[in-house]
Amino acid sequence: MVPGEAPPDGEAAVAARKQRAWARRKAFSLFVKAKEVPAAGGRGAGVRWRCCRQAFEELAGIHRHVALQHGADIGQQAGLEAEVSPSSGPAPAGSADGLDGHSCGSPEISCTLPDTSHVSHDDLTSKVGEVLLYYCYCEVKDPEKLCAWQKALCQHLHLTGKVRVASEGINGTVGGSKVATRLYIEVMLSQPLFKDILCQEDFKSSAGGAHCFPDLRVGVFKEIVPMGIDPKIVSYKETGIHLSPQEFHREVEQYLSQARQGQSDTILLDCRNFYESKIGHFQGCLAPDIRKFSYFPSYVDENLELFKDKRVLMYCTGGIRCERGSAYLRSKAVCREVYQLKGGIHKYLEEFPDGFYRGKLFVFDDRYAICSNEDIISACRYCGTLWDQYKLCSSQHCRQLVLTCPSCRNKGLTACCPVCQEKELKVTSRASGQTLKEECECTWRRPRVPIEHVSQRTLDAGKD
């Protein structure tokens, strides 16, 4: 071949195949590496692997599992590797897993992974860690690329959790060691896509770690929080007025004082699901008896009279549901003013652990709840004793959460309702082997969208 001349089509095709094969091997190796956990026996005892709630003692076993169950993940990550990695040969010295210092080529999304060569495996995978909660609304032109980078980043740092990516932004909750979560925040803040939008204060943290989630799930969706309304119709850009925890605290204080005198024109609205507000909420709030946030728009539609000419103070766990929820409420043009708690309950409790929020804060991971005070405001489903620690319904066909105290659990009362309790005794699983959801007394009895009776509704502001 003449120097400087383009290679023949055949050579180009071979080179491309080699590049794809190299990228897939690299992606496979990274995926397996991210599943490593220290073997029993401590330092020097070797490693084993955990994935999809299974433990693997041999390398061949985890290889078979990944090949059979995670082919799509490997393919997606391999596409990212092919873009960010050199065309042939090993990665440049000093780079992290062959990706550090390279970018996707898109000026909006950097695919850089942090250098972890100075961090020990024990520090990176320590069980003493934390769980991060964050979101960022911004325009994402290539959600698939952002998703692939997030998956590679989390695996690189041994993080577990859930990350939702959409054209409207990103929403995540991840758990890992303190070293890993610190590196994750640093990389997120340096991401050009989030520049001047995401800041350190947007990350809420609580004690936990990678063990708080069964695995890592990163995906592309239409919405970063599932409200069921097209983001182009109800945009986060039309949100309510954000109040800092201090401002929100003063507003709630004033509202409670006026409510006790029967003079309030304000509604303190909990945007979460019933099982969340059941174990913890603000005093004097209106907590809709809804099971999913996607029911919230219908709840607003069915109760418009309730919000007419009212000032509405909204809150949720971390703030993201209020972004879309307040935008939807404002679109109905019935409220006088709509405000929302910036950073959600999470940030409020950091500043006011003994403020107007009582009980536990529900979280969507294996902890189910975190606490800032000693209050217990909910009760055992069976005996009525104070209890606020959720467990999954013991019936295999159901995935409802149930509050049942140790005494009742010892008596075998471990299901969410009598229907499930009876089914558990008779049926261990369906013939198909598939688990089913929402087939129990709990969902049959609860209206999908409750209608509030304004004339009968009284806020016992001091009761909670």
Instruction: Confirm if 181 and 132 have CB atoms less than 8 A apart.
Output: yes
Burial class (CB in 10 A: 0-12, 13-18, 19+), 125: buried
| Catalytic residue from among 51, 104, 285, 316 | 316
Across the beta sheet with 311-315, what order do the strands follow? 241-243, 337-341, 311-315, 266-270
Instruction: Confirm if 390 and 375 have CB atoms less than 8 A apart.
Output: no
How long a stretch of residues is the chain? Answer: 464
**Phi then psi for 164, rounded to 5 degrees?**
-110, 130
Q: Helical H runs in 85-227?
A: 121-124, 143-156, 178-190
Q: Is 316 a catalytic residue?
A: yes
- Tell me the C-alpha distance between 344 and 204, whole Å: 9
Burial class (CB in 10 A: 0-12, 13-18, 19+), 263: exposed
C-alpha angle 286-300-266 in degrees, rounded to nearest 5 = 40
Residue type, 433: G
**Phi then psi for 83, rounded to 5 degrees?**
-80, -40
C-alpha angle 178-208-147 in degrees, rounded to nearest 5 = 70
Q: What share of the chain is helix, strand, coil (3-state, %, to 5)?
A: 35, 20, 45
Burial class (CB in 10 A: 0-12, 13-18, 19+), 456: exposed
Residues recognised as catalytic = 316
